[in-house]
Amino acid sequence: MEHGPTGSSAAAGGAQGTIFIRELSGRVSDLNVRWEDTGLDLKRRVMQKTGLDVDGLRLIFAGKTLEDARSLRHQRLTNHCTVHVLLHLRGGDGGISSLPPVSDFPAVTAQGREKAQPHSSSPDNAVPEEQTREARRAVAAFRYSAMLKGKCKRCVGEILPEVTPEIVPGTEENRTVYRAHIPSAGSFHCSETGLGFEVSAAVTVEYEYGSWAESLSPSARQEWMVAGPLFRIRAEPDTVRAVHLPHFVCLADGGDLSSCQIAHFEAGHMTLETPARIHLFHAVLENPSFSQLGVLWRKIRSTVTFIPIHSLVLIYRALRAADITLHLYLIPNDHSLRKAIEKEETKWESKLIPKPPQTNALYFGSQYEVSGTSELNITPDQLELCYRSPADQQSYIELYMTAMEEEIKLHMKDRKNGKLVWKTFVRPGDVKIPAASSQTLTARGVSFVKKHRKQLRRRMGVIYPILARLRDIEAMNSDEEEEVLSMQNKQKVMNNALLQLVERKGAQAQEELYQTLRETDPYLVQDLEQSS
């Protein structure tokens, strides 16, 4: 469904609002406008946003061309309506050709539904082949650029000045606080979280991720879908005019914007506020009172499975796993989830493999199947797209192979209809471990064993899981395991035998012992590292 005249009336909705601009490539961007602006003013704004030539533009709303001299209010534009961009190109004969003809755009009825238009196939409207190829190349370049940035292939968000926050320790365990020093009045967004602010003067804002799991009641979960991260925000009163809260619902094909609400948690109580504007990646709350804020989307008769979700695929190489082991995650495009995965994988020195992460818009509750070359072991072979709290373990698919000599092609398809939603190539160079990184990793194990040898000899507890792990990863053979176990009458003697064995085998064996202890006895490792 298009965003059409069913939005709030411009006449009743104040001096300004937000509209959506749909380009020929299919990409959609949002634009703040004043209703007293003319059609020509809007053309100039579109030119600035898209880089297109204003002389070659026609703007189409509700099946009609916008007039240059009349105001947007008088042409019945409404908050969150969609305006189509029609581009005229000069053909080789100097004439003007339309790409595509006006009749290819849907009109929007008073009920907000698209009305089919006859397709024009007149030779007079034909586009020269070279121009068509150029247009396709431009669209492909845009989509590739958008995917690299983790954005939707079809949605283009606001372009605001970035502010890089200071990251400071939180007051609670495992919490990170972001402190943004905003230099002047204006609109800015955080480079780390995607959170945006409109401020009236220079100000410092502190914020951190909250927990939907702790804040949203079970009864509220039946009615509302989490649609973005939850934030705890602190700022001086009356300094922040508006906050732009990230959401991951894809609006490229329309959507019921009335379902979008902003949850405000204070003293354990939730209130819902209607956003002043809804952008493609943010919902805007004006004159906010800060505590915990986040975007929710109403479920209509359990139709959450029909709400398109901006989603990402992330691939990590697990450096401490056997041979070549990759972890593939499928998550909503939520910065807090990306940070949680990064933190978990960093514990084990995993390496992010940079690939275009953006999928087609996906759906919660749907199953997505991953396939690749025959040499690849995939366990499990499918994932369900769902929202899990950043505090919970995020599900992933393990991709394993003994070696990689040639590139592998990965596909992800919707299991229900077989539609391809994502693909990439992983090449040998993508999974190669730099020599410097390898040396740094093994040096950690050597340093740990050397520094804490006395304590390890005394405090290593049940040794059987450690031996089993070292044997599984071929850091020791069965004879060496028997050598250590033959001294089981005394724990310290057995521990000492194990330490002597890994020291004799060298740096790599000591690193494997260190990583095994981190898995089997993390509290011992943490205590030793904190005491040094």
CATH code of the domain covering residue 415: 2.60.40.2660
pLDDT averaged per 10 residues in sequence order, the chain, 532 residues: 44 72 76 90 84 70 86 90 70 36 32 34 41 44 42 68 84 77 90 92 94 93 94 92 95 84 92 93 92 91 74 91 89 94 85 90 94 89 94 93 90 94 92 63 78 89 78 77 76 85 82 82 84 71
- CA dihedral in degrees (265, 268, 269, 273; nearest 10)? 0
Instruction: Examine the domain organization and report whether 237 and 320 are in the same domain.
Output: no
Written as six digits, the tokens of 176 are 């990170």
- Count H helices and E strands in the chain, helices first: 13, 34
In-domain check, residue 279? yes
Written as six digits, the tokens of 405 are 């000599």
In-domain check, residue 5? no
CATH code for the domain in which residue 251 is found: 2.60.220
Do the Cβ atoms of 329 and 313 come closer than 8 Å? yes
In-domain check, residue 2? no
Written as six digits, the tokens of 381 are 């072979």
3-class secondary structure, 325: strand
Give the Cα separation of 150 and 314 in Å (integer): 10
Instruction: State which residues form the domain around 142.
Output: 16-148
Do the Cβ atoms of 18 and 35 come closer than 8 Å? no
Residue 18's nearest CA partner among 242, 272, 279, 194 is 279
In-domain check, residue 3? no
CATH code for the domain in which residue 507 is found: 1.10.533.10
Question: How many domains, in total, are found in the chain?
Answer: 4
Which residues, at least 6 apart from 335, have a Cβ–Cβ distance to it below 8 Å? Answer: 192, 193, 194, 229, 246
The last residue of a domain, from among 431, 451, 474: 431
Instruction: Examine the domain organization and report whether 211 and 140 are in the same domain.
Output: no
Instruction: Examine the domain organization and report whether 338 and 315 are in the same domain.
Output: yes
- CA dihedral in degrees (505, 507, 510, 516; nearest 10)? -110
In-domain check, residue 65? yes
In-domain check, residue 368? yes
3-class secondary structure, 364: coil
Instruction: Examine the domain organization and report whether 281 and 217 are in the same domain.
Output: yes
Give the Cα separation of 137 and 121 in Å (integer): 23
> How high is the pLDDT of residue 49?
75
Written as six digits, the tokens of 480 are 């060496």
- CA dihedral in degrees (231, 232, 234, 237; nearest 10)? 80
Do the Cβ atoms of 7 and 19 come closer than 8 Å? no
In-domain check, residue 4? no
User: Whole-prediction pTM value?
Assistant: 0.63
Compute the Cα dihedral for 179, 184, 186, 188 and give only its sign: negative
Which residues, at least 6 apart from 334, have a Cβ–Cβ distance to it below 8 Å? Answer: 228, 229, 246, 248, 387
Written as six digits, the tokens of 125 are 């409207």
> How high is the pLDDT of residue 127?
41
Compute the Cα dihedral for 156, 162, 164, 169 and give only its sign: negative
> How high is the pLDDT of residue 26?
66
The last residue of a domain, from among 258, 275, 306: 306
Instruction: Examine the domain organization and report whether 202 and 249 are in the same domain.
Output: yes
Which residues on adjacent β-strands are paired with residue 272? 263
CATH code for the domain in which residue 45 is found: 3.10.20.90
> How high is the pLDDT of residue 511?
82
How many beta carbons lie within 10 A of that of residue 357, not counting itself?
Answer: 23
Do the Cβ atoms of 182 and 201 come closer than 8 Å? no
In-domain check, residue 1? no
Angle, vertex CA 412, rays to CA 411 and CA 417, nearest 5: 120
Instruction: Examine the domain organization and report whether 208 and 331 are in the same domain.
Output: no
Instruction: Examine the domain organization and report whether 218 and 131 are in the same domain.
Output: no
Output the 3-class SS for 56-121.
Answer: HEEEEECCEECCCCCECCCCCCCCCCEEEEEEEEECCCCCEEEECCHHHCCEECCCCCEECCCCCC
Angle, vertex CA 210, rays to CA 149 and CA 303, nearest 5: 70
Instruction: Examine the domain organization and report whether 173 and 298 are in the same domain.
Output: yes
Give the Cα separation of 385 and 332 in Å (integer): 8
Instruction: Examine the domain organization and report whether 170 and 301 are in the same domain.
Output: yes
Do the Cβ atoms of 155 and 252 come closer than 8 Å? yes
Give the Cα separation of 240 and 200 in Å (integer): 6
What is the distance, to the nearest Å, from the Cα of residue 66 to the centroid of all Cα atoms in its chain? 36
Instruction: Examine the domain organization and report whether 69 and 139 are in the same domain.
Output: yes
How far is residue 323 from each of residues 28, 320, 432, 461, 530, measured CA to CA in Å? 43, 9, 11, 29, 31
Instruction: Examine the domain organization and report whether 22 and 142 are in the same domain.
Output: yes
**What b/e string do you get for 131-159 counting C-beta neighbours within 10 Å, with b at 16 or more?**
beeebeeebeebbeebbeebbbbbbbbbe
Which residues, at least 6 apart from 333, have a Cβ–Cβ distance to it below 8 Å? Answer: 150, 152, 248, 309, 310, 311, 312, 358
Residue 372's nearest CA partner among 337, 324, 332 is 324
Instruction: Examine the domain organization and report whether 382 and 481 are in the same domain.
Output: no
The last residue of a domain, from among 374, 409, 431: 431
